[in-house]
Structure 1
């Protein structure tokens, strides 16, 4: 016991000395490295700030004027009277609706964002009063596959509107489906450029479709209800990958200038509700040369005359025309509603039988000319005395003139009178 009691204070003092030594060492370390501690804390703060700034701004937020669904990756900004594309579109968007707005124009890089809209695949701009689409308007959209510009009064559609980066024609567009239905020109402005006034919708659209090889990946093209009277030559020459072409409800009167030769992959061609009267041999041969195409020709005013012989023969043999038994004659009147494939070739002649509308026009023209003739005769009758006096005066003047010539002739023919006239001064 005494031994144990003598060791207790010594042990307690040793523990106390160790505790004091630990406190001294801790104070020395903290006093020796204050700068490094501050530096590390500042570095941590700057790292967190840079990490925060590196995050995509508003990547998951939705513009105030739009409705967003992150699960469906869809953004709808419909009928919001927007005058420009929202700047804060979420980067996850794959389908974007901007219909029914007041955009007026799309400048170059209209969809350029940071971070970029790399996922955007379907863009609908229909009914947004677009008048101008500039070159490179859809650049920085590497995944864009479907574009709808229908129901817009396009005044200027750049030939490089569908080009890729920097509007270069050499950069192919990722577009696979382009919808340009109901494109109408707005009323012409006095300050409008003369070249734009002279450029028809047909020429404007054709220029955009055949600009280099920009749209060589296009598979689906809709040009319905545009009042096209024709399509310029080589409009489809660069669209070799086209599968579906919709030209219905236009005013096409002929396909003479429209070549389908390069559309070797074409599967459906819609030509319903146009003004086609006959398809000529060149067009028939091109269509027959397309291996998998189905052609739709309903509701056209076919003229069943001698020019229809080749088409009727072709229709009876081909299988590429869908619903060919529905195709009927519109003119002449005696053959109206007769089915084309049931026509007898011998009944197709070129009698000068005009449609009733033309007959009415010629009758009206005849009546107008008859009235003009009657008025002219009435004027002559009312002025018959003056005209008679005028005719007498002309007759007397002519008679005096002829007598003068006769007198001179007699003098020149008689030598004696000639000598007399030469010596008349003597």
Structure 2
């Protein structure tokens, strides 16, 4: 039939179109993914997202984390810095080792450790840090040298590869807390005991422009008796200074005038007895500073009148209400802010500690005297014999003088005495 014949080709065309559409859908659908296996080759990365070549291997005695950019070589008894540190390291821990000496170029590597920003060398037995030791660390920002028996810290330790003090270091934080007393080995010709740690630190801080970028300096728990003159003169950008838990008896040699950016000054747990007017004026002239003065043995006499008046007016001293007198005994534990000029006089009575010292000295002298008397008593016979011998010798000598006097006084014996030896 004509109508059936007409519909036949139409149906055939529709069937062919359906088959074409079905093939196109099946070819564009994603293929099912095969299960992952360790041996499966990774897909090639897009050129735009290509990664740098894989880093070098981790040193054998260390633990490395590429994700955290951290390398830890802790308590491994290392005598030198590992030579094969990975280039990606940003934080390096070398604590608890036996490095002893850090030579020039101790961190010189190829490729250089350009990413290293934090270096911890605390408790590594360091006695000597030589010139250029940190020269090849262009990005170093934080350095911890605490708990080391440091005897020599070269003023050029933070300078460039040519050991020149002209180029400033990138260092922003220097931590030198709790220095351990150095021990001199037998056969070591270098004498470290006569070198002052105060002088060593001052020489390092005054080394030209090397540490002009320093922002944080920690010198706590080092038994410092004083800070040498000009020790802080080349640190104009300093913001945090920790001098706590030392033995500072005064700040006469220290100048804070150029530390205009200083924000925190920690002077707790020292031996400060009074702050003089020059120091008070300099501290008051710093616009941002906060000062901490807790646990110092303040002597409340006529010399502290100006400091008490300054404390009542200033707002830069944190916790000033807790500051109390330590001497004299009659003023012990009295708050400095509650004192008036009438309460402060220079009483000649010594503090209790000095009184105790003099009593102890008297006891020692009395003991020495008793021992001396006991020795005399035990040797009384020998001493008596010695005294008799001295007496006899003196008597014979005096008799000889008396006899010569009688001869010289008698004119009849003048010629005889001149011609003969009587």
TM-score range, shorter chain: 0.7 to 0.9
* 1:145 paired residue number: 141
Call closer, same or farther: CA 1:420–1:57 in 2, change over 3 Å: same
CA distance in 2, matches of 1:172, 1:399: 86
Q: Is the 8 A contact 2:235 2:259 kept in 1?
A: yes
1:112 aligns with 2:108: yes
Work out the CA distance in 2 between the residues paired with 1:219 and 1:213.
14
Change (3 A) 1:380 1:116: closer
Gap regions ≥5 residues in structure 2: 1-50
Shift of 1:400: 5.8
- Equivalent residue number for residue 71 of structure 2: 76
Q: C-alpha displacement at 1:252, in angstroms?
A: 1.6
Contact 2:74-2:93 within 8 A present in 1 as well: no
After the TM superposition, which residues 16-415 of structure 1 pair with which residues of structure 2 at under 5 Å, given as runs? 59=55, 62-64=58-60, 65-70=62-67, 72=68, 74-79=69-74, 81=76, 83=78, 84-377=80-373, 398=394, 401-402=397-398, 405=401
What secondary structure, in the 3-state scheme, does the structure 1 residue paired with 2:193 have?
A: helix
How big is the alpha-carbon RMSD for the aligned residues of Structure 1 and Structure 2?
A: 3.1
SS at match of 1:275: coil
Cα deviations by residue, 1:398-419 (Å, 9 ceiling, x for unpaired): 5665565556556656767657
Equivalents in 2 of 1:125, 1:385: separation in Å?
A: 69
> 1:56–1:114: 8 Å Cα contact kept in structure 2?
no
Distance 1:211 1:422, change over 3 A: closer
Does the aligned pair in 1 maintain the 2:126–2:149 contact within 8 Å?
Answer: yes
With normalisation by structure 2, the TM-score equals 0.76
Matches of 1:148 and 1:266, distance apart in 2: 21
Could you say which structure has the higher helix fraction?
Answer: 1
Counterparts in 2 of 1:193 and 1:240: CA distance versus 1, 3 Å: farther
Which is further off, 361-370 or 163-172? 361-370
What is the CA-CA distance between 1:78 and the residue it aligns to?
4.1
State which structure, 1 or 2, has the greater radius of gyration over its C-alpha atoms: 1
- Per the normalisation by structure 1, the TM-score is 0.75
Task: Give the direction of change, closer, same or farther, for the CA distance of 1:408–1:165 in structure 2 (3 Å limit).
Answer: same
Instruction: Give, in whole Å, the separation in 2 of the partners of 1:240 and 1:411.
Output: 94
Q: Is the 8 A contact 1:105 1:133 kept in 2?
A: yes
